[in-house]
Amino acid sequence: MPRKGIDISGKKFGILTAIKRHDPPMSFMWYCECECGGKSIVNGTHLRSGHTKSCGCLEGYHKHGMSESREHNTWIGMRARCFNKSHRSYKYYGDRGITVCERWLEFENFYSDMGKQPDGLELERCDNNGNYELSNCKWATRIDQLYNRQNTVKVKHNGKICTMRDLSKASGIRPSIIRGRLRLGWSVDRAIGD
């Protein structure tokens, strides 16, 4: 009868969490989830000894030397939101079907496409329902991101999709006033005084 080994379910090793023992006969192997969203099957001894600390994503850190960079942290967060079901924001990303393009599963490709992360800017998807990929991403301010959320009111004006903030900048009228006028049934042109 094979030995059961040490129960490490739920314990964290590096950025891996042991979820459950892999099916026998490999009773010393563990199914693990990584903070980056990756999954792997790892020998329990390697976990406990510190030999294996990630699904493989950490090995890439040494290649590019950017493991402590803002860009790498942004990349890790992007992957976690899309692939890690226990991440606090997964319900807004992965659960809605938002994913990361295949090219960006490698940090080097992400960095090559997006470049250095400018101070004060964060990764934003232009289309809130679109995936993380070069054609849909840019560096943006936190305020710009707040106006690109699912619940942001957007209207069409002069053939362009605009937020209340966009209309306010163009007209000089506060967003709350424009929003109130639109709720009363005013046309966009009338609401901004065109």
CA dist 21 and 31 (Å) reads 6
Which residues lie closer than 8 Å to 134 by C-beta, 6 or more apart? Answer: 101, 103, 113, 114
Number of structural domains (the chain) is 3
Return the structure tokens found at 194: 């065109």
Overall size of the chain counted in residues: 194
Question: How confident is the model over 45-75, as pLDDT tens digits?
Answer: 888 888 888 877 766 544 566 777 889 889 9
- pLDDT of 117 reads 94
Position 50, amino acid = G
- Cβ atoms of 191 and 153 closer than 8 Å: no
**Whether residue 34 is found in the same domain as residue 86:** no
**Whether residue 81 is found in the same domain as residue 132:** yes
Question: How confident is the model over 105-141, as pLDDT tens digits?
Answer: 888 899 999 999 999 999 999 888 899 999 999 998 8
- Specify which residues 117 forms β-bridges with: none
**Whether residue 79 is found in the same domain as residue 123:** yes
pTM over 0.75: no
Return the structure tokens found at 5: 């080994």
In-domain check, residue 113: yes
In-domain check, residue 45: yes
The range of the structural domain enclosing residue 73 comes to 66-146
In-domain check, residue 1: no
CA dist 84 and 76 (Å) reads 11
In-domain check, residue 17: yes
Lowest pLDDT segment from 68-77, 88-97, 122-131, 185-194: 185-194
In-domain check, residue 61: no
**Whether residue 118 is found in the same domain as residue 186:** no
